[in-house]
Amino acid sequence: MKVLAINGSPRKKGNTTTMLEQILAGAAEVGAETRMIDLNALKMRGCQGCLACRENIGECACKDDFQDVLEALKTSDAIAFGTPIYVFNVSGQFKCFLDRCYCLVPDPEGEAGYEAAIPPGRKFTIVTSQGDEDPEAYRHVIEYLRMIFSFLGGTIRVITQAGTEDRDSARNDEALLSKARDAGRWMVT
């Protein structure tokens, strides 16, 4: 069982990273092989709009570090996606990743219909971290991410961290850490 985490925060020891690490630790506890991909460390361009993926669903013609990410997305059994809230939305790194994931969305007019190009029935966790104390403040972002990942055809759990003061906020929040660890175990079982 392979569990993947996609990290959209540039902070190596920040809140999103901490929560994703806990999720992977929970998954590892119950026997999963885990991997974290830091989007910020990759040489990855934004989608070039070539639309070659409309002819070859599941493939991206832009040959950069996203190729490795794509392979990991296809071959993982469960995936956690994490991003800080930047200017009322996901981080730029994470948006770049989402645009590149367009290659995984089948053509609704095509023979494949809406069936995902990667295995359906998997478990996903969406993790967000925000300065605003109101956990509902960025509901639109959660709904946006839910809509996107529902294309992948699985079950989705959400962890929202609100009211962060600094990059250590998650590390000092036992209840949050425990929630993240629990999500990691849930993804494997």
Ligand X SMILES: Cc1cc2nc3c(=O)[nH]c(=O)nc-3n(C[C@H](O)[C@H](O)[C@H](O)COP(=O)(O)O)c2cc1C
Contacting positions for ligand X (CB under 6 A): 9, 11, 14-16, 84-88, 129-132, 164, 167
**Which residue number is nearest to ligand X in terms of Cβ?**
14
185 — phi, psi (to 5°)?
A: -65, -40
Distance between CA atoms of residues 49 and 40, nearest Å: 21
CB of 84 or CB of 154, closer to ligand X? 84
CB of 34 or CB of 130, closer to ligand X? 130
* In the complex, minimum distance from the CB of residue 10 to ligand X, in angstroms, rounded to a whole number: 7
CB of 79 or CB of 173, closer to ligand X? 173
* In the complex, minimum distance from the CB of residue 16 to ligand X, in angstroms, rounded to a whole number: 3
CB of 63 or CB of 175, closer to ligand X? 175
* In the complex, minimum distance from the CB of residue 142 to ligand X, in angstroms, rounded to a whole number: 13
* In the complex, minimum distance from the CB of residue 5 to ligand X, in angstroms, rounded to a whole number: 13
DSSP 113-131: TT--SS-SS-EEEEEEE-S
Instruction: Please count the other Cβ atoms lying within 10 Å of the Cβ belonging to residue 81.
Output: 25
* In the complex, minimum distance from the CB of residue 173 to ligand X, in angstroms, rounded to a whole number: 11
CB of 20 or CB of 78, closer to ligand X? 20
DSSP lists the bridge partners of residue 80 as 5, 125
DSSP 32-76: -EEEEEEGGGS--PPP----GGGTSTT--SS-STHHHHHHHHHH-
Distance between CA atoms of residues 172 and 11, nearest Å: 16
Distance between CA atoms of residues 28 and 180, nearest Å: 13
